[in-house]
């Protein structure tokens, strides 16, 4: 394998899950008499950890058993809504296959719970192609903290400067930059001007290929 790695976030990067998270949160908050707008979700839900989302919309810090209970409720709603709708962003799986055939190490690094990742990996069957798989339970500090990406680099046995990250959110791009990695911004949830500066921006994987990755990794 190369001493280079490509790491993918999950929500908005492997699959365009944000509309289904919005749907789940609308049900979740509706039970509590709250009705956030799509604009509020864009600012305070996409790419954010549940700890941040609950604190922002519920107006207080949620910790301990209460946090576990609320997260299980909301993510259970998401998995129920999304289970029969799982598809990747266009051309993700062929792109991943191309990377593996060329010897790149690959990983997934998400702020989502492992159960969500397992649901998606179980359907799409890409887990065997990942040398590193990290979800929210595997880190103490969530994006924009670089912990999940620095931990990924260690598991992949690759220096951070030799890692290329695909991210779609402000906090995710910031986390990758803070880790000292190169970043491709995936414009599934945000416009280019809403993200920190990336080496490249794409709408989906039909717009990137092996030559692009090699050039970015120079």
190-206 pLDDT, tens digit per residue, is: 999 999 999 999 999 99
> Rounded CA gap, 186 and 46, in Å?
13
Q: What is the pLDDT of residue 187?
A: 97
Gap between the Cα atoms of 21 and 26, Å rounded? 8
**Which residues share a beta bridge with 183?**
165
- Kindly report, residue by residue over 49-76, the tens digit of the pLDDT: 888 999 999 999 999 999 999 999 999 9
For residue 96, the number of C-alpha atoms closer than 13 Å in the C-beta half-sphere is 22
- Can you tell me the mean pLDDT for 32-52? 88
Q: For residue 1, is pLDDT > 80?
A: no
Better-predicted residue by pLDDT, 44 or 184: 184
What phi and psi values does residue 178 have, to the nearest 5 degrees? Answer: -65, -25
Report the candidate in 172, 217, 211 with the shortest Cα–Cα distance to residue 199.
217
| Three-point CA angle 209, 198, 42, nearest 5° | 105
pLDDT given at position 45: 86
Q: What is the pLDDT of residues 64-114, one digit of tens each?
A: 999 999 999 999 999 999 999 999 999 999 999 999 999 999 999 999 999
């Amino acid at each position: 394998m190369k001493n280079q790695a490509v790491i993918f976030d999950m929500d908005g990067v492997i699959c365009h899950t944000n509309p289904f998270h919005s749907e789940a949160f609308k049900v979740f908050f509706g039970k509590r008499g709250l009705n956030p707008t799509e604009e509020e979700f864009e600012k305070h839900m996409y790419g954010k950890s549940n700890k941040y989302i609950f604190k922002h919309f519920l107006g207080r810090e949620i910790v301990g058993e209460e946090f576990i209970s609320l997260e299980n409720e909301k993510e259970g709603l998401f998995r129920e809504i999304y289970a029969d709708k799982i598809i990747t962003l266009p051309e993700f799986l062929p792109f991943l296959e191309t990377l593996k055939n060329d010897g790149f190490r690959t990983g997934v690094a998400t702020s989502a719970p492992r159960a969500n990742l397992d649901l998606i990996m179980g359907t799409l069957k890409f887990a065997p192609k990942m040398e590193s798989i990290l979800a929210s339970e595997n880190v103490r500090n969530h994006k924009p903290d670089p912990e999940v990406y620095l931990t990924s680099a260690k598991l992949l046995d690759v220096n951070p400067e030799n890692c290329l990250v695909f991210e779609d959110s402000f906090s995710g791009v910031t986390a990758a930059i803070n880790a000292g990695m190169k970043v491709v911004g995936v414009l599934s949830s945000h416009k280019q001007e809403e993200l920190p500066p990336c080496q490249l921006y794409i709408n989906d994987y039909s717009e990137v290929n092996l030559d692009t990755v090699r050039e970015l990794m120079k």
